[in-house]
Structure 1
Amino acid sequence: MDKVKEVLKKNTMLVALIIVTVIFSIGTGGKLLYPRNVAILIGQNSYVVILAVGMLMCILTGGNIDLSVGSIVALIGAIAGTLIVNMNVNIWVSIIVCLLIGILIGVWQGFWIAYIRIPAFIVTLAGMLIWRGVALIVLNGLTINPFPENYLKLFNSNIPDIFSGSINITALLIGAISCIIYIALQVIKRINAIKKGYEPEKVSMLAAKSIVFSVVIMVLAYTLAKHEGVPTILIILLAVVLIYSYFTNKTVPGRYIYAMGGNEKAAKLSGINTNKVLFFTYVNMAFLSAVAALVCVARFNSAAPTAGQNYEMDAIGSCFIGGASAYGGIGKVSGVVIGAIFMGVLNNGMSIMGVDTNIQKVVKGLVLLAAVAFDVISKSRKK
């Protein structure tokens, strides 16, 4: 019983996500989990996952946030539209230019935050105004569309089925391979723990986790197989999540971010260049904002002056709902993904049920407040 309580405590938001999904599935008469709606859910929340991963790293440094990400999305989208649609520049050259501009924006903001030590809130608030203004200048207040088909296919297509049939077999194979890789990694992790003399995870717990994960993945794969297969954007999201999960958990620079968030003064005294760490997190945030912009313009098939509005709120909300601490030093990429899916299920579920938009905002605000309050209360009890 104690083990069950411990597992539930560690996976509170995952349990909450399952409960909310079940509630909205019942409330919508099962429409929430229709294959088409699941595919839409993935597409609609792709930018949230990308931005939230970057935002997590900012928050980890000590509760810092980036308010400029929505405006950066608008600006990079405007530049992409100008290059690809108006000037007919090669799409790969345009993508590289957009990513480089995103990095330069991060360098600008990171310099003021990390080396001049102007509070991140002020610098990114200024950035929110500056980059939105520049986006309006680039677009001249107009919307650029449509984008060429070869660009849209990079983000909006599905992995083609190598078999022919009424259901996409390739999607099921991708799901099965994902399950095998996950189980293999868990087994390797347990073997390494034994070799190093650590207490390994119990076989029963490992088996339970593997079964649950495999069931969820195969249900998702089957659902997508009944629609049009695995979206390419899902592969991009998986790549982002896996790369940043590895970076934060297995690399020295990634652990530096957690160390700085835990206690910056102690991290500095131990030899960590905290200025460099802080600088990197904001350059990385701007880079991921550029990636999100490229995804968004492909999804909406346009670059608009109003693009990216409130995107920073979605990213911040996903981080805190996913278990990131408001004080920094605590949070996982996997938790952020759960937070983003949670927000997506809330949005889609309430939209399908016809809930008023204003009420949706109230609900999301209350959920965010509850997540942060849970974090603060839990810390105060430990003290």
Structure 2
Amino acid sequence: MSVVNQVNSEKRLIAGISIASIVIYINLYLVQGMLPLIADHFTVSMSQATLLLSVTSFTLALSLLFFAILSDRIGRKMPALVSLYLIAFIDLLMMFTHDFSLLLILRMLQGVLLAALPAVAMAYFKDELGQDALLKAGAIYITVNSLGGIFGRLLGGTMSEYLSWTQSMQLLFVLTLIGCFLSSYYLPKCRFVKPVHEKPKGFVNKTDIKGFSIHLKDLKMRLVFLIGGTAFMVMVNQFSYIQLHLMAAPFSWGRFEVTFIFLCYLSGTFASYRSGKWIQNFGLSRVLLFCIGLMLLGVLVTLMDSITLIFFGFLISAFGFFLLHSSCNTWVAMRASEHRSKATALYLCTYYIGAAIGGPYLLPFWQHWGWNGVVLGVVLGLFITLLLVAKYISVPEGTGHELSVV
């Protein structure tokens, strides 16, 4: 392949994965901005409506391991594309759904499908790209993840304010289908080569178990899994509770206005894009310490309890978190010299399980002490994350590729 063709193929791969990622995160987080509409349409409480995000995150987390195995069997491209079209089909079914229990089931199924792309994306990049291009692709990928999350939540808030449930699902179906077509067009032919091993006996075989165990036996890898999970546990859920805080007195913001807090993710978008450069220059250890410091500073600033400082605090927190997540995600893909999709899946499984348990973890803090309690819960969670980083730094280097970790 000529240099020009190679560059074009790399650009098409990054574009195709990025578009697919935006579709994934719009579908995942749209309901977070639609909770009032969902509660009204299905005649359920707001707390019941939040189950739609929780069950989706939980089934997504567990399904990552399945797609990691599947992609090692049949390649990266097919699972990603097939899952996208099935997500669009479920959006179509939700358009005609009027029973909340059925909607929960559909969201659980959608969570399974939403896992396909995150499970294979970094492995897909590692299979197709060189190290320099991989760092850039990883940074762009996390950047568009944050953009998809922002757009999904803001779109959900807009739908909740101006559209009915049926109209909202119609729009979501059209957007998802357009994303499917664009991803199909841009994704180049996959050069994945199936690993050579004994003939599989059943879907999960000894090679798969070995693949997962290789990464789980790596202490530094396990610590990075937990660092990403604990950081996301407090990050994504503090955004949920700040909405309740802003809707209460003295702010009394409306259900659409509170979604503007998600614009703070834009600072994380910038941080994600720059993460590849910074991890090369400073090493993962320094980057992680810097990120946790920013997240602590950001959440403490919100105690000043003014709109300006709350937004400023969340801008700082989002910057720190997405720099941490992008760095961890890329580091895992780079360190995994084999069974790459399994390494990424294990990281993201821990990551989304953290998101699933973060809501219940922060709930008693909110119930007893309001937003000040949530800040206390976040600080405690970040202290645990800091201990994990300290342990990571203290562990001597073992085998595997490193990214100038100091």
Q: Which structure has the highest helix share of the two?
A: 2
Q: Higher relative contact order by CA 8 Å / sep ≥ 6: 1 or 2?
A: 1
Q: Same fold (TM over 0.5)?
A: no
Give the structure-2-normalised TM-score: 0.30
Q: TM-score, normalised by structure 1?
A: 0.31
